[in-house]
Chains A and B, each alone.
Chain A
Amino acid sequence: MKIVLNGSEREVPDAVTVADLVGAVSETDAEGRGVAVAVGAEVVPRSQWGARELAEGEHVEVLGAIQGG
């Protein structure tokens, strides 16, 4: 199925989870400090990354800490 990850369309397996996507784009450790995920306009708490499966066409934003004023 297709989803949109950080603005780019991606082909992913069915039942892919938020945790799978975070693992694919970042080398962050399991604790994931400095990383946050939203699906649509909803923030997905870290505790639900493994359980939250994505559906066709959903928009996912995976954000990480950068330097900023």
Chain B
Amino acid sequence: MPSSLEIAGRRWDSRLILGTGGFRSLEVMEHAIAAAGAEIVTVALRRVDVGTPGSLVETLDRLGCFLLPNTAGCYTAHDAVLTARMAREAFGTEWVKLEVIGDDRTLYPDATELLDAAETLVAEGFVVLPYTNDDPILARRLEDAGCAAVMPLGAPIGSGMGIRNPYNLAIIVEQAGVPVICDAGVGTASDAAIAMELGCDGVLLASAVARAKDPVKMARAMRGAVDAGRLAFEAGRIPRRLHAEASTPDAGLPSFSP
């Protein structure tokens, strides 16, 4: 088994964090969470107009999930901070997945607003997990601001393009003193494995599972990929070589007569 993940002093057996968005139904979501073995799942806040907002929370509570609210859809530090405060009230948690995006075409984080919001929320006692660019300098600034983890993207949210800049992720991992969670971009199991092999401490994904043809099966695949990638990272891969290196020794090789 891979080692456990520690964020802000809490230990987690699963290194796969699942977003709950995009599922066809609560029932599919429920089975996918179970198949993923995820302990932490993200939720969002939107206006209540009619209906029963309780059903989602009841389902997640029944599964024993730890709810990580996000600030999805916020474009300014002001809105993100207020959304985080509302999430703390709604879910009774100090933890927040901080998202402050720059535009709706890329959904890339707005670096200055993100850092501003992170500083404010840390000062208010939040456990801040920021969704960030794959920028080592910004990641360092977020860590310096007191964030409990950094969550660089592998590719744009929902794009399924995989880990587009593995070298930047490797630099972020190398320098980080807090857990690095690869957040966004994973399209299939090998993407999650690559992120983990690079040394990421966890993977956060939603669309890759929720929008797969068979979400429950993909959730199981992601669980395996995250475990396999982590195990490979901990095991230490062999160096890449241009030329072959025989694994069977030459010693004792017979010399057959023609």
Give the B-binding residues of A (Cβ under 8 A).
6-7, 25-29, 33-38, 41, 43, 45-46, 61-69
Query: Shortest distance in angstroms between A27's beta carbon and chain B's nearest beta carbon?
Result: 5
Residues of B within 8 A of A (CB): 19-23, 26, 29, 42-54, 56-57, 61, 67, 70, 72, 78, 82, 85-87, 89-92, 157-158, 184, 204-207
Closest to B207 in A: A69
CA distance A43 to B82 in the complex (A): 8
Report whether B54 and A68 are in contact in the complex, using a CB–CB cutoff of 8 Å: no
8 Å CB contact of B22 from A28, A37, A43, A69: A69
Whether B86 and A43, one on each chain, are in contact in the complex, defined by CB atoms closer than 8 angstroms, is yes
Could you tell me if A66 and B44 are in contact, using CB atoms closer than 8 angstroms? yes
Interface-centre pick from B23, B45, B61, B85 (highest chain A CB count, 10 A): B45
Q: From the candidates B42, B53, B70, B82, name the one contacting A38 in the complex (CB within 8 A).
A: B82
Q: What chain B residues lie within 8 Å of A61 (beta carbons)?
A: 47, 86
Residue of A6, A27, A69 near B157 (CB, 8 A) is A69
Contacts of B205 in A (CB 8 A): 69
Most chain B CB neighbours (cut-off 10 Å) among A33, A63, A67:
A67
Partner of A69, one of B42, B85, B90: B42
Q: Which 6 residue pairs across A and B have the least CB separation, nearest first?
A: A68-B44, A64-B53, A69-B19, A69-B206, A36-B90, A36-B86
Contact B51 A65 (CB under 8 A): no
Find out whether the CB atom of A43 lies under 8 angstroms from the CB atom of B44: no
Whether A64 pairs with B21 at a CB distance below 8 angstroms is no
Contact A68 B70 (CB under 8 A): yes
Residues on A with beta carbons closer than 8 Å to the beta carbon of B207: 69
Output the nearest chain B residue to A31 by Cβ-Cβ distance.
B54
